[in-house]
Structure 1
């Protein structure tokens, strides 16, 4: 299966956090699954690191490559699809990640209950 993990799941997975459920942990660790991480998450992490809001042990690309994640570039089709999303909340990073999951037909793995309200295939951590 193909999954897109959101920013929090990426951070927790990189730290082997106990915040991950067994289901999500097994999805991420299953070598038969293809795990994607959005370039939007990279952007969000760098902004939050620079503001001192989060600490992450290593570089985004290093973590992604080390874990075998595929970095999902931002395409114009992802931006264009934003207009089709419901107006449930206004977080621009989340909305772009949701749009990517819809356009690319990926199951979105998230810890955000608001994201799970969108009409997208999601697994809630």
Structure 2
């Protein structure tokens, strides 16, 4: 069973129909049995919206989450603790949390952020 977690930009591109969404990622989302969006994604988008740093289509994604067939993944204590054990490959706290959630919940993390690729090769703690 394939279960995936969408990075923030992947979520925005998917719900807005943006052509930047790579075909292989679109296919992974379509084939997945469970597609998750983290509450951290909505938190990140809300901060950017409050600062006026989101396009209107992206800002609508905040309120439209429940209209899509995605599973909302809440941030749990174990996710926050897992960030501590990750190598310092990326500075963005939201991205680090999303990777920690994917690793902790054994989800395939869908992103085009090449800086996060290093985390995909890091073994999860036993």
TM band (smaller chain) = 0.7 to 0.9
Q: How does 1:12-31 map to 2 (within 5 A)?
A: 12-30=13-31
Structure (1 or 2) with the greater helix fraction: 2
Report the Cα distance in structure 2 between the residues aligned to 1:95 and 1:74, rounded to whole angstroms: 12
Mapped pair 1:60 → 2:62: yes
Unaligned runs of 5+ in 2: none
Q: How far has the Cα of 1:82 moved from its partner?
A: 0.9
- Paired residues for 1:61-80 under 5 Å: 61-62=63-64, 64-80=65-81
1:22 Cα offset (Å): 1.0
Give the 3-state SS of the residue equivalent to 1:118 in structure 2.
Answer: helix
Q: Report the count of equivalent residues.
A: 119
From the superposition, tell whether residues 120 and 72 of structure 1 become closer, same or farther in structure 2 (CA, over 3 Å).
farther
- Structure 1 length as normaliser, TM-score? 0.87
Q: Which moved more, 1:47-56 or 1:36-45?
A: 47-56
1:28-58 Cα offsets, whole Å, 9 max, x none, are 233x521001110000000111111112252
Matched, 1:112 2:93: no
Structure 1 match to 2:98: 97
Give CA deviations for 1:35-86 in whole Å, capped at 9, x if unaligned. Answer: 0011100000001111111122525252x23220011000000011111101
CA RMSD of aligned residues (A): 1.7
CA distance, structure 1, for counterparts of residue 60 and residue 79 of structure 2: 28
Please give the alpha-carbon distance, in whole angstroms, between the structure 1 residues aligned to 2:116 and 2:13: 17
Give 1:43's aligned residue: 43
Q: CA deviation at 1:120?
A: 5.5
Please, which runs of 5 or more residues in structure 1 have no aligned partner? none
Give the TM-score normalised by the residue count of structure 2.
0.86
